[in-house]
Amino acid sequence: MIKKILIANRGEIALRIIRSCKELQIQSVAVFSDIDRYAMHVRFADEAYPIGPAPSSESYLNMDKILEVARKSGADAIHPGYGFLSENAEFAEKVKAAGLIFIGPDPEAIRTMGDKITARKKMIASGVPVVPGTEQVISSEEEARRIIRETGLPVMLKASAGGGGKGMRLVYKEEDLMRALRAARSEAGTAFGNDAVYIERYIESPHHIEFQILGDQHGNYIHLGERECSVQRRHQKVIEESPSPLMTPELREEMGETAIAAARAVDYVGAGTIEFLVDDNLNYYFLEMNTRLQVEHPVTEMVVGIDLVKEQILIAQGEKLNYAQEDVCQKGHAVECRIYAEDPNKNFMPSPGKIRRLRKPHGPGVRVDDYVYEGYKIPIYYDPMISKLITYGANRKEAIQRMIRALNEYRIVGVKTSIPFLKKIMKNKHFQEELYNTHFIETYRKELFAKEHTPKEEEVEDLAAITALIQYLEDRKATIDETSAIPEFRSAWRDFGRKQAVLSRI
């Protein structure tokens, strides 16, 4: 039985994992960099230990330091979350060698799926459909030419060590192949220290649909249905939902079984995700497998009613799966919006800084997985995602209308966020009518980035409060940075009262 888990991560996912630990009555150990001393995961855990300076290379990626804290704290397992060391086979090996449980798959499964050419070979051998293309690393330019004559154009060149869009090149004409190949190789070599490149036929307007699977240490597997992740910007997911509007019960069963076959091929243990590209004719192709818990796992949790982090922990301590495939059913609909501290009007430049005022949405079917609080300073060192807003509804329409309502309730003052951009997507006719694929944002960029000239009702409310605040500060000859020094402003209630008073006068 696991009694104490070290969470080798920060931010919302560290909180998410600690919550499941608490429900399982397992002690939690946080680790933190110097700049994260006042971060929420540090306050939330039962114990917390410093692991070094702010840059993640010196803290959250420092394997030895994390293992030292595990030993010192008496943890018996490590949960890596997502990002950082979560898909690092060497770290999983070191955790095992230290006599600890790694909450995730075997290092060998991480390694196989991390190398995309090896993964493709493994999938082909297991009868999992992959995008037509190479089975081996491209060893010569002649070979590349021969392959494109077989698969046809256009093709995509991808780095074997890549994934998630890094080091990709799209080739439409044979005469561009050599230059693209050299560029892809050189980019991959610099970025990953591995210049192996492979070729896939280009799927023109695909959907990105991924299946969540769980596997235990006894060879049992189930899938928990799919997530539709086609709304992306520069290979960053923006919105995820489950179920996918494209899915049929028959296709779900078939792709679910294919996802399980993919997991079985690497003796996968724990929670994992099989990514597929799906074309307009509903042909589907294995893209890659993510051997970790994913950012968007909550949409699956909402529609199947299973706590994925809890299942990960129970699997890691050797228990058999708590569910058979026939126990799993998707009910209702869930949508997730990723909220970033970025300025959508300035090409999504990061907008780090202090959260001055924060009001989270509540009410029926609303879940907020975040880690920020009023007064918290968002550091520049890590991912700018500050919150995930998830809404659940009886059907897609209700989940979307709930999301619009929840986004309207959300107030974040002090940093710019992607909330206005997310509202535009949720209100977009093509999104609402299920007419979208991976090109959604670029296709409707005009509408999605249009500046609004008429303030919305909810914004008028804020404008009134802000006008009153500015006047108040001018009267006191103070600046916004000094508000925390003004005794009255230590009370959010007084602030709220002032706002009501202002509103009653307009």
Q: Which residues are catalytic?
A: 292
Rounded Cα distance between 286 and 163, Å, is 13
- H-assigned helices in 24-88: 40-44, 63-73
Q: Which of 198/376 has CB closer to ligand MV4?
A: 198
Tokens of 472: 């108040």
Q: Which of 5/157 has CB closer to ligand MV4?
A: 157
Rounded Cα distance between 167 and 194, Å, is 11
Q: Which of 330/438 has CB closer to ligand MV4?
A: 438
Q: How far is the CB of 301 from ligand MV4 (least distance, A)?
A: 22
Tokens of 242: 């489950």
Q: Does 164 help bind ligand MV4 (rule: CB under 6 A)?
A: yes
Q: Does 455 help bind ligand MV4 (rule: CB under 6 A)?
A: no
Among 62, 73, 242, 438, binds ligand MV4 (CB under 6 A): 438
**H or E segment to which residue 28 belongs:** strand 27-32
Site string for ligand MV4, 267-286 (x = CB under 6 A): ----------x---------
Q: How far is the CB of 207 from ligand MV4 (least distance, A)?
A: 8
Q: How far is the CB of 86 from ligand MV4 (least distance, A)?
A: 17
Rounded Cα distance between 340 and 111, Å, is 30
Rounded Cα distance between 322 and 305, Å, is 13
Rounded Cα distance between 465 and 472, Å, is 10
Nearest Cα residue to 13 out of 316, 308, 278, 286: 308
Q: How far is the CB of 233 from ligand MV4 (least distance, A)?
A: 9
Q: How far is the CB of 119 from ligand MV4 (least distance, A)?
A: 12
Residues 216-235 interacting with ligand MV4 (rule: CB under 6 A): 232, 235
Q: Does 82 help bind ligand MV4 (rule: CB under 6 A)?
A: no
Q: Which of 78/117 has CB closer to ligand MV4?
A: 117
Q: Tell me, what DSSP letter sits at residue 115?
A: S
Rounded Cα distance between 25 and 21, Å, is 6
Q: How far is the CB of 438 from ligand MV4 (least distance, A)?
A: 4
Rounded Cα distance between 110 and 108, Å, is 5
Q: Which of 235/331 has CB closer to ligand MV4?
A: 235
Tell me whether strands 197-201 and 207-215 are parallel, antiparallel or unpaired.
unpaired
Q: Does 287 help bind ligand MV4 (rule: CB under 6 A)?
A: yes
Among 74, 127, 152, 165, binds ligand MV4 (CB under 6 A): 165
Rounded to the nearest angstrom, the gap between the alpha carbon of residue 129 and the centroid of all alpha carbons in its chain is 25
Q: Which of 275/370 has CB closer to ligand MV4?
A: 275
Q: How far is the CB of 280 from ligand MV4 (least distance, A)?
A: 13
269, 215 contact by CB (below 8 A):
yes
| Residue 250, number of CB atoms within 10 A of its CB | 9
Q: Does 156 help bind ligand MV4 (rule: CB under 6 A)?
A: yes
Q: How far is the CB of 291 from ligand MV4 (least distance, A)?
A: 15
| Look-up of token digits 């028959």 | 250
Rounded Cα distance between 108 and 119, Å, is 12
Size of the site for ligand MV4 (CB under 6 A): 15
Rounded Cα distance between 102 and 79, Å, is 7
Tokens of 359: 């009001």
Q: Which of 67/113 has CB closer to ligand MV4?
A: 113
Q: Which of 52/162 has CB closer to ligand MV4?
A: 162
Site string for ligand MV4, 193-212 (x = CB under 6 A): -------xxxx--x-x----
- β strands within 44-135, DSSP E: 47-50, 77-79, 101-102
Rounded Cα distance between 52 and 33, Å, is 5
Instruction: Catalog residues that contact ligand MV4 under the rule CB under 6 A.
Output: 131, 156, 164-165, 200-203, 206, 208, 232, 235, 277, 287, 438
